[in-house]
Amino acid sequence: MTKLSVNINKVATLRNSRGGNLPDVLKTAMFCESFGAQGITVHPRPDERHIRYNDVRELKPILKTEFNIEGNPIESYINLVLEVKPTQVTLVPDDPHQLTSNHGWDTIKNCGYLQDIIGRFKEAGIRTSIFVDPVVDMVENAKKCGTDRVELYTESYATGFASDREEAIKPYIDAAVAARECGLGLNAGHDLNLKNLTYFHRCIPWLDEVSIGHALISDALYMGLKDAIEKYRECLL
């Protein structure tokens, strides 16, 4: 079964735009779980423009499903993850000023760096995942970094889906097969939505998890959070 982890960053963005605690990030996370989400994802950035470090601390004790913390492994992020001890940590090579994630790790050039960080997390019993582009070499070298999983960055698939979905999915199938042959778990995320998720899952049915935030929260504005989560779960059957 492919799990759906709901990224709640956009809920925090809305809260932060006005101040106060509306919408309530903690309450939203609990509702997501009650509506069928099998995990909650957050991506705290140093400027805390959406999820704040304290949100992460407050979420951990109330969550009943898997907790995934994404981010660039700067020292403050590493310390936060080691303090909270989520189910999974996903390493993303973000620049602090990026609007959103836009590329995966070069697991060849950064192998030693990633090995050291992953070693710290694994000593704490935290499952690790590396955010990678759909490139076989990057997947295979992720294994050498010591990670448990890779997360395929799916922006190029989402961009190419409307014009030629078969061509758009090809590098992802190759990367997914490489991950399976290496014995790595497989996650995916970025710009997946109700239009393109079913086909992606049909072509790569051994996915462990998809992490979806922007599209799902946007759909929830039209159909409600419960229906949106149920629709995304249906794409993964």
* Residues annotated catalytic, as ranges: 43, 70, 190
Which residue pairs, CB below 8 angstroms and at least 24 apart, start in 69-72?
69/41, 69/42, 69/43, 69/44, 70/7, 70/41, 70/42, 70/43, 70/131, 70/211, 71/43, 71/44, 71/45, 72/45, 72/96
Q: Cα separation of 17 and 19, whole Å?
A: 6
In three-state secondary structure terms, 9 is helix
**Angle in degrees, 0-180, between the axes of helices 9-18 and 214-223, rounded to the nearest 10:** 70
Q: Which two tokens stand for residue 14?
A: 């809305």
Indicate the pairing of strand 185-189 with strand 209-212: parallel
Beta strands in the chain (DSSP E): 3-7, 39-42, 66-71, 88-91, 127-132, 149-153, 185-189, 209-212
**Angle in degrees, 0-180, between the axes of helices 111-123 and 75-84, rounded to the nearest 10:** 30
